[in-house]
Structure 1
């Protein structure tokens, strides 16, 4: 029975104890790590796409997405403190619901990390083209090299997003040769991003005008299932701004007292980010306005669409928040803080590549673990003799990420990444509830409060946001899952180590894959 192929929890814990990574991270470091993973393209770039979907209701959208992430984080916290091992949602599902569902989660995480990395690369490209080239050096990148055929920001005639391709391939190369991010470097980058956002809030909130918030919900709360508009539609997109908090649970194996510190890191980082996001949205909308550009039927043009690009190319709309592909820097320039706006652009330019690195690292390590479990060809987990990294899967991943970044707009990429993320979060909530029923006496140093409410709320919230993604993004997940199931039954089912009776759980110490220094993300 494929549903009977379960990795026993006792074996997972025994292996983790026998082959443990050094425990060096505390609650503060984990919180900083979580903030560092979360704050990225979502807030620096997707502010424009979110405003086009919801207008000033973007503030409500951030709150909705944050609340759903918080209940999901509580579920993650319980299972991560019970199973402080590498593998995150993939390992959790394997230990509770069996191999085939674990495969679907791992396959969804592959989609999440790879597409999210592409989205961050596109976001970085906007700041490179706007702040670095245009504002600093007075050079404008030709339209056909500045974006794909469909881009956010009004660039028509786009053929390929060359800067996004370059940064994706550069980060891939760094990962292949063994460069990783240390906790100290991550802390510096977190400080840069938090300082930039704090400066933005201080400068914009005093200049905000209440008139800019009216109407607050120009597209309503619910735009309709599959429409991707309204406050809930915007929440489904800017949910991407929170993606990354689950990476904290992947560092559980390197955490001192994970039963206490992992929950603090998860929930603490989410609360900090939610407050920041709402204040940043208020400052952006309150100063230059955030009303969407409406179509002839009174419905906002889809973010990233050709129609919106044509509207944004017109002089009357070009300065609007919804037309900028470097939203926060653009707002500061519009209200007279051009130099500081450029400095914020520099902060995004410096910090966003680290997010790409974290996401690419996570994606390749999910592939790596699945290959070591026999579910994917073992050649994918081949370690380079000199670099000590899984270079084959890293190169493949980097090529796919660069291709997606070359041709798709950031809003579409974020929606696709969210589909995979929401599925993984839902499965974690189910796993926590099943473990409470099946193994109620197992030690739980952290227990999710009111699991009878939090668990179903996580599941309902994830399904709710998924159904409010644009239809094009919704169909990607089942299509991707169908491809995954074909691969599983043609290859993984017959070669699975658990299927052959091998239940040992691998630690990242095995084969010495490239693992982070002083505590980076471990998958």
Structure 2
């Protein structure tokens, strides 16, 4: 066999579906300790970050009161992808998320590239979230105690400081909790998610008392273009639902639990967002949102004439960042674990502690890398790059549904996308549209990231893949120990 044909075979080989089942059900791997409610909370915790507390300040000036329609459009796009995730998660219930789905449908290098996209999504977004924690923590301590940490240790270089110490501490604590055990981490996350949901529900209840229909006129002062622009702005508040699929090997009855949690998280998030958006634009004129940096707390302060809403909303933002950071670190460590088990990364990545049932090395390495980014990098410039990685992963999942329905129609699925093939096709188109809207420099950076992925694959991963054998056939895949 010539070298070009060997390389082509390596790039395109797909992991057999039976191998996924054998790995997830084998001994020495991750433990199934998470139930449907806790898994739903993981999805909500990863999705509802600080964005909803402040997104109206930028979205309402773009669309006016019609931002409600923008939320609906963004929810529809998110739902298209979430339904595709639900089907693939029920058919291939492993911890690799869209990396594993691509491995089963598009081939090894496509899976490797998607894995790198996911690492970009989780690592950079996790670090960016951790960077902002010091800011929100300072805001809360200032309101409660009249005290703030010095900027030198509360912000990274480029943002007025030397090192972002609060971000490092946050990532370290979340990493140690994840090392302790998935069950314990899921329980802590559930408590924090319920608290921040309570804060948002309280905003809706109090804000509704000041609702005036007159504030909804004119409804769409910026027209269709404004609604579309605002939809792109608020769409990224829905990113995070894919974190549910990274728990595929740690949930009980995954074929039922995974799609239930994905759809359940989407319904809760979309409902909360729509209510917050509706109450927000009904409680004050849409022109008042421009330059209103304090977000929801300003609206509550104006309604109540008191200072406690700002404290409450600041506390909600602090808890949101903790829960999002926890789930981001969890998701990335599970993706790295799966890539290590496939031989795409060194074997240390697939080692599981017999005591806690968690990939300790992978979790600590992930935490250390994210903490380093949070400590010394202002990551605003990489926000669009993170979005591109996320959208590519979303599009691959939707393509995976189309391909797997054709190549494995008999495969047992706990959930099937309704409206097939229209829904997954629309999901691909929607992701493509949002990708098209990203700036040129993002494409250049993304191209460089994929070029690095190609180099690592050619030098290491293709030769160490567990599908690689001397004669080029697919090797049996054993469970990790």
TM range (shorter): 0.7 to 0.9
Residue matched to 2:246: 250
Residue matched to 1:120: 129
CA deviation vs aligned residue, 1:211-237 (integer Å, no higher than 9, x gap): 655665566544xxxxxxx54444334
Deviation at 1:356, TM superposition (A): 0.5
Q: TM-score, length-normalised on structure 2?
A: 0.84
Q: Does the Cα contact within 8 Å between 1:76 and 1:429 map onto a contact in 2?
A: yes
Of the three residues 188, 191, 201, the one matched with 1:198 is 201
Q: Does the Cα contact within 8 Å between 2:14 and 2:105 map onto a contact in 1?
A: yes
Residue matched to 1:225: none
Deviation at 1:458, TM superposition (A): 0.8
Report matched runs for 1:96-495 at 5 Å.
96-131=105-140, 133-142=141-150, 147=155, 161-175=164-178, 181-210=184-213, 212-213=215-216, 221-222=224-225, 230-289=226-285, 291=287, 320-321=291-292, 323-324=293-294, 327-335=295-303, 336-381=305-350, 390=359, 393-406=362-375, 414-495=383-464
Of the three residues 462, 466, 477, the one matched with 1:497 is 466
CA deviation vs aligned residue, 1:340-377 (integer Å, no higher than 9, x gap): 33123223323431220111121122223223322223
CA deviation vs aligned residue, 1:464-510 (integer Å, no higher than 9, x gap): 12223455545443332222112211221222221235644465xx3
Q: Does the Cα contact within 8 Å between 1:466 and 1:474 map onto a contact in 2?
A: no
Unaligned stretches of 5+ in structure 1? 152-156, 223-229, 294-316, 512-523
Cα 1:281–1:474, aligned 2, differ >3 Å: closer, same or farther?
farther
Q: For the residues of structure 1 that align with 2:298 and 2:153, how far apart are their CA atoms?
A: 21
Cα 1:161–1:472, aligned 2, differ >3 Å: closer, same or farther?
farther
Secondary structure class of the residue paired with 1:423? helix
Q: Does the Cα contact within 8 Å between 1:41 and 1:352 map onto a contact in 2?
A: yes
Cα 1:399–1:26, aligned 2, differ >3 Å: closer, same or farther?
closer
Of the three residues 72, 92, 100, the one matched with 2:81 is 72
Q: Does the Cα contact within 8 Å between 2:399 and 2:424 map onto a contact in 1?
A: yes
Q: For the residues of structure 2 that align with 1:71 and 1:285, how far apart are their CA atoms?
A: 27
Q: For the residues of structure 1 that align with 2:272 and 2:317, how far apart are their CA atoms?
A: 16
Q: Does the Cα contact within 8 Å between 1:120 and 1:352 map onto a contact in 2?
A: yes
Deviation at 1:180, TM superposition (A): 6.6
Q: Does the Cα contact within 8 Å between 2:30 and 2:358 map onto a contact in 1?
A: no
Deviation at 1:174, TM superposition (A): 4.6
Q: For the residues of structure 1 that align with 2:282 and 2:68, how far apart are their CA atoms?
A: 11
Q: For the residues of structure 2 that align with 1:141 and 1:54, how far apart are their CA atoms?
A: 37
Q: For the residues of structure 2 that align with 1:369 and 1:37, how far apart are their CA atoms?
A: 20
Cα 1:274–1:487, aligned 2, differ >3 Å: closer, same or farther?
same
Compare the two structures and name the one with the higher helix fraction. Answer: 2
Q: For the residues of structure 1 that align with 2:393 and 2:418, how far apart are their CA atoms?
A: 21
Secondary structure class of the residue paired with 1:359? helix
Unaligned stretches of 5+ in structure 2? 1-8
Q: For the residues of structure 1 that align with 2:439 and 2:185, how far apart are their CA atoms?
A: 37
Of the three residues 9, 17, 32, the one matched with 2:25 is 17
Deviation at 1:15, TM superposition (A): 3.3
Tell me the matched-pair count.
468
